[in-house]
Amino acid sequence: MVSRKIGAKRHYMNEQVILTLYVAGLNPRSERAINNLRQLEGDYLAGRAVVSIVDVLQRPERAESARIIATPTLVREQPRPERRIIGDLSDKETVLKALNIGEIGSL
């Protein structure tokens, strides 16, 4: 069990984060999403995130079991509850807020 900061604003600062990014092949949109995610990981999640990327064209059954409709979709599997962010993640502020993993003020 990892310790968790207790407070009005819960930011999972020290918790493990599991993220899965679903993309459809290597098109410009996928690449943008992957780059945005890498940047985010480097800036906010260094060392405490497990990030995997699934190509739905190669692994459609993964898209099926996760019920993914749109690509790219980023799924925050841990911490619970699950959250889904649809799009190429170019709107970083929204992504950070949705993932709830960093101080927005630090951007």
Partner 1 sequence: MMVELDKLVTSIPGFDHIAQGGLPRGRTTLVSGTAGTAKTVFACQFLIEGIVRHEETGVFVTFEESVDDIRNNMLGFGWDIRQWEAEGKWLFVDASRGAEETIFAGDYDFDALIARISHCVDQIGATRVSIDSLAAIFTIFPNSQTVRNELFRIGAALKEMSVTTIMTAERTDEYGSVARFGIEEFVADNVVILRNVLDEEKRRRTVEILKFRGAMHRKGEFPFTIIPGQGIVVIPLSALELKQRSSTVRITSGNPALDAMCGGGFFRDSVILVSGATGTGKTLVSTMFIAGGIQNGERCMLFAFEESRDQLFRNATGWGYDFETMESEGKLRVHCVYPEVAGLEDHLLEIRRLIDEFKPDRVAIDSLSALERISTIKSFREFVLGLTSYIKHEEIAGLFTATTPSLLGGESTTEAHISTITDSIILLRYVEIYGEMRRGITVLKMRGSMHDKEIREFRIDLHGMHIGRAFRDVSGILSGTFMYIQPNEIDRMRSLFDGDEP
Which of the stretches 1-9, 12-20, 44-52, 53-61 binds partner 1 when contact is defined by CB under 8 A? 53-61
Give the shortest CB-105-to-partner 1 separation in angstroms.
19
- 57 near partner 1, rule: CB under 8 A: yes
- CB–CB of 77/20 below 8 Å? yes
- 101 near partner 1, rule: CB under 8 A: no
- 34 near partner 1, rule: CB under 8 A: no
CA distance 77 to 17: 8
Residue with tokens 């992504």: 95
Give the shortest CB-88-to-partner 1 separation in angstroms.
4
CA 28 to centroid of chain Cα atoms? 18
**Omega of the bond leading into 81 within 30 degrees of 0 (cis):** yes
- 37 near partner 1, rule: CB under 8 A: no
**Residue 87, token pair as written in the block:** 């799009």
**Residue 25, token pair as written in the block:** 């092949």
Q: Which residues form the interface with partner 1 (CB under 8 A)?
A: 22, 24-25, 29, 32-33, 36, 56-57, 60-61, 63-64, 67-73, 81-92, 94-95, 98
